Amino acid sequence: MSTQKETVEFILDKLGDQGRFSVRAMFGEYALYADGKVVALVCDDQLYVKIVPASGELESLCEKGEPYPGAKEYYVVEEDQLTQLGQLPILLLDIAETLPEKKKKKSKASKK
């Protein structure tokens, strides 16, 4: 089951700062980016937040689940929690800050 565009728009609306959050469609689902880094997935109309030390405060608030079969576990943020977790945007930005920078691909010319 793929995620509805309205769900993604709702999540982005709850996060607020549109300049720092974005989404990219992937196989009918979406990756949620904070400052250009993937911090969560939106699958089956649910938000799945990466489990890293910076997201530890979600441990007692959220269930864990797989966004798709065979995936690592993520915190599952329910729809009602999106409005209750006022610190969620800050938490997602903290996750992005702790993730490594994207590796730049070497061009074919530089490999020779």
- What is residue 49's predicted lDDT score, i.e. its pLDDT? 95
Radius of gyration of the chain, Cα coordinates, nearest whole angstrom: 15
* Euclidean distance between CA atoms 43 and 72, whole angstroms: 13
Cα angle 81, 89, 86 (rounded to 5 degrees) comes to 45
* Euclidean distance between CA atoms 56 and 51, whole angstroms: 7
Which of 46, 43, 45, 41 is CA-nearest to residue 95? 41
If you classify domain 5-98 with CATH, what class do you get? alpha beta
Where along the chain do its domains lie? Answer: 5-98
- The predicted-structure confidence for 30-42, as pLDDT tens digits, reads as follows 999 999 999 999 9
User: Given pLDDT bands bounded at 50, 70 and 90, which one contains residue 18?
Assistant: low
